[in-house]
Structure formats: structure tokens, C-alpha cells
Amino acid sequence: MLHLFNSLTRKKEPFVSISPGKIGIYVCGITVYDHCHIGHARSMVSFDVIVRYLRSQGYDVKYVRNITDIDDKIIARAHERAIPIDDLTAQYIAAMNEDTKALNILPPDVEPRATEHIESIIRLIERLLEKGNAYLSDNGDVCYQVDSFADYGKLSHKDLEGLVAGARVEVVKEKRSPLDFVLWKKAKQGEPSWPSPWGEGRPGWHIECSAMAMGELGEQFDIHGGGLDLQFPHHENEIAQSEAATEKPFANYWLHVGMLQVNNEKMSKSLGNFYTIADVLAKHHPEVVRYFLLSSHYRSSLNYSEENLLNSRKALARLYQALKDSQVIPDGEMDNHWISEFNQAMNDDFNTPVALSVLFQLSHEINKSRSVILANTLKYLAGIMGILQEDPASFLQSGFAEEDKTEIEELIAERLQARADKNWGRADQIRADLLKRGIELEDGPNGTTWRKME
């Protein structure tokens, strides 16, 4: 049975969906004012595998991942570049789609945008005002009154009194408490706005996700996810406003992806260790990056380094090598023992490191037996992880420019001719020269193949 670590209860729990056989998942997506970074990739890949696995178990999954296309950062960046906001967000949505496609991240079933849900956001704010959980401040903003929700802090396990005492929030006299947050911002000169019962304005960040999640999945759904950095205050505020409005639990299970560090430091532009997904993919094969992101449990922290990427390539090459000389039959017979071992790992809160270890055990058996059934099984299980999707020879030869590949093939042809002419010295010299360049030759009954040494 599937067990999930629920951030709300801080314990691992059996998973039971609201509707048998169906699962609704909402994951906080990208604020599109810049290129996605490698930390974003970790969250997106983690939930991609979670959704793939749940579907492999027969669940009908509705996966919703939003786009925040209006907020302070977007407005500031568009102003800085002197371009319309829609042009800015379109540019970065297109870049995000390129990144996710390269990393073999399946698109969500629904990808709502905040600007498309203004009406539902306004209705939700109206409910909060009617119930006394929100108020119209003197400056025209609508604010949520945090102390009106008795359970505030239950997700992040923070004490409300302690939060107020230690609030490092700029005091805004229009707020009743420094913890109160804005649901609707009164329009400012030169900023985009929409009509509302409280005048022209735009939504605050937190209310956007509540409205989009409930609009797509209902007032109560199964799983809400996102990065650990969103747990407080964003997810805490989502719970407060949603449950105050509906008087129902918002999401039954909360999953949070651990933080990604770079060389054991927090990723930061000021430290010069900030990497976009495009930066990383310019140097590393997409499947290597994906494997690296899955090599640690999604809840744990993960350290990005060139050494760890290199080790990920070596590990992935071992799996590809097992498939290289094996026949794989699409939809062919598979070995239920290995599927069961894989499922056992994934049923334990989506433990991808253990699941990957099952793939390595399976590859070891394939290397010994060249079993078609085992090869079919490895290909299928790796597909749930979104890896081993390339032709093995192509992956094992990746990392070389096309002109280099052409030269390598010409040298292999020359070596074959030298061997045919019994010119063993020249044949050995070519092998040795290629070896120095990190290229390993493999002679077999079907000729000579080559691969990059790992």
C-alpha cells in the first residue's frame, strides 16, 4: 500500500484518495519573470515521477500545475525591460516549456494562469469578507486577518504568538497585524488591474493558488505539493484562507520537495552559483540531469556539483549498457518480481533512490542472462522514472560533436581495414589513440561499436 509523508502531520501515512481510483494533485508552479533554475527542475521532475508512478498503478490522476503570470516581480521586470507584461510572461512560459520538454517532464493536465482566474479569486475574497476573515484596509487593499483562523501555523508547525513577536515584516499601519497578508491590492499607476467590488486592483499571490486549486479540483482534494521554501508562508496562507472560506480541509496530503544547494551552499546570484536549467543542459545530457535529480529522496536536500553530475552519467551509462546488446519488445512479457520490488520502493513515499537501486540489480541480471523479459522490465520501469528513453548507442556516444563522431567512425573503418590487412600495429595504434580521447571500442560479432568512457 502506498504511504506518503504528510507535511501536515509530520508522519508517514497510508494514502487513501477521496474518490476511489481517482487522485487530484495541485502543485505550485513557476512565477514567469525569469528563466527556470535547477531548483525548479527538481520540483518539476519529482512531481512528474510521482504522477507517472500513480498512473502506472491504475489511478486516474488529474495533475494541475499553475503559472503565476502576475505579481510584483513580473511587473518590476517588465518595467525594467520596458516591454508589456504579456510579452514578458509569454517569453518565459515558452522558455519553461523548452526546459520541461528537454527534461522529459510531461505537461500537467491543466496549467491554469492567475490572470485567467480573476473572477473566481474575487468570489473567494468576497466569501472571506462575509465570514469575517478579511477586511478592507484604509489604503484600499483587502487583507486576510491571520488571527481569525485558529489553526494558523498547523502546516509549518509555527506558533502564532511567536510569529507575531518575531515578525520581521515591515510594519504597515493599514494592517491590523504584521502577519496579515494582502488578498487584493489596490491599483497603482502604471500597473495592470482588474475591476472588483473594492475598486480596480489585482490579486495577491497566496489567494491565486487557492482559487486555481479549488477551481480545478474542488474545495477539497488529495495532494498539494511544492518546494519546501513554499511551506511558509505561502502554503500556510493557502490553508488559512481556503479552510476559512469552505470550512473543509483544503488538501489531505501535503508533499514538499527539499532544497537544492550548489557545492553545499545556497544557490544565489550574489554568490555566482546560480544555474538556470538551460545553463545546465548546455553542459550535460538531459537524462543525466534528470537522473541526478532523482538520485536523492525528494524530501531530502540535494547538492548540485559537477562531480555529482559526472557520477550520475556513469550510473546512467551502466543502465544503458545493459540494454545496449539486449532485445526489448514493446509491450512484451515482463518479470513481476522486479516490478514488485520497484513498486515496494515507490510505495514508501516515492523512494526513488531505492527504486533506482532495483534498476541496477535488474541490469546486473540482464548482463548475465541477456533475458528479453528482464530487458522489457527494465525499459518499462525506467520509463516510469522518465529515463532510458534514448537508443543506448546514441546515449553512450553522447557528449561528442557531430564532426568528432564522423572522425571516430572513419578511424574505426580504418582500423577494420588495417586488421583485414593484418596490419596489427596500425590497428592497435588507432585503438590506443581513441582510448586517450576517452573512447572505448567494443569488437563483437556484428562489428565494432564505440562509446564514451565514463
Contacts of 194 (CB under 8 A, 6+ apart): 118, 200, 201, 202
Q: Is residue 161 a contact partner of residue 258, using CB atoms and an 8 Å limit? A: no
pLDDT at 133: 98
- Whole-angstrom distance, CA of residue 289 vs CA of residue 398: 14
Q: What are the φ/ψ torsions at residue 417 (nearest 5 degrees)?
A: -65, -40
Number of helices (H), then strands (E), in the chain: 16, 15
- Whole-angstrom distance, CA of residue 70 vs CA of residue 272: 28
Q: Is residue 399 a contact partner of residue 453, using CB atoms and an 8 Å limit? A: no
Kind of pairing between the strands at 251-257 and 221-227: parallel
- Does the model's pTM come out above 0.85? yes
| Domain residue ranges of the chain, discontinuous segments joined by + | 3-257, 262-395, 400-452
- Whole-angstrom distance, CA of residue 185 vs CA of residue 72: 11
pLDDT along the chain (454 residues), means of 10: 97 98 97 95 98 98 97 94 96 98 98 97 98 95 96 90 55 78 94 96 96 98 96 96 98 97 83 90 96 98 95 96 92 97 98 98 96 97 97 90 88 91 92 91 83 82
- Whole-angstrom distance, CA of residue 397 vs CA of residue 214: 47
- Domain 3-257 bears CATH identifier 3.10.129.10: no
CA angle 57, 62, 64 (to 5 degrees): 130
Query: What amino acid occupies position 414?
Result: E
Does residue 284 have a known ligand-binding role?
no
Kind of pairing between the strands at 11-14 and 142-144: unpaired
Alpha helices by DSSP H, 370-396: 372-385, 392-396
DSSP character for 350?
-
Does residue 409 have a known ligand-binding role?
no
Contacts of 452 (CB under 8 A, 6+ apart): 317, 396, 397, 398, 399, 400, 438, 439, 440
Short-list 85, 61, 65, CA closest to 73: 85
Query: What amino acid occupies position 131?
Result: K
- Whole-angstrom distance, CA of residue 248 vs CA of residue 428: 74
- Whole-angstrom distance, CA of residue 365 vs CA of residue 410: 35
pLDDT at 175: 85
- Domain 262-395 bears CATH identifier 1.20.120.640: yes
Residue carrying the nine cell digits 504528510: 6
Does residue 407 have a known ligand-binding role?
no
Listed in order, strand segments (DSSP E) in 263-374 are 265-266, 302-304
* Alpha carbon 368 to chain centroid, angstroms: 35
Does residue 442 have a known ligand-binding role?
no
Q: In what order do the strands lie in the sheet with 260-262?
A: 265-266, 260-262, 302-304
Does residue 170 have a known ligand-binding role?
no
Listed in order, strand segments (DSSP E) in 90-172 are 134-136, 142-144
pLDDT at 230: 95
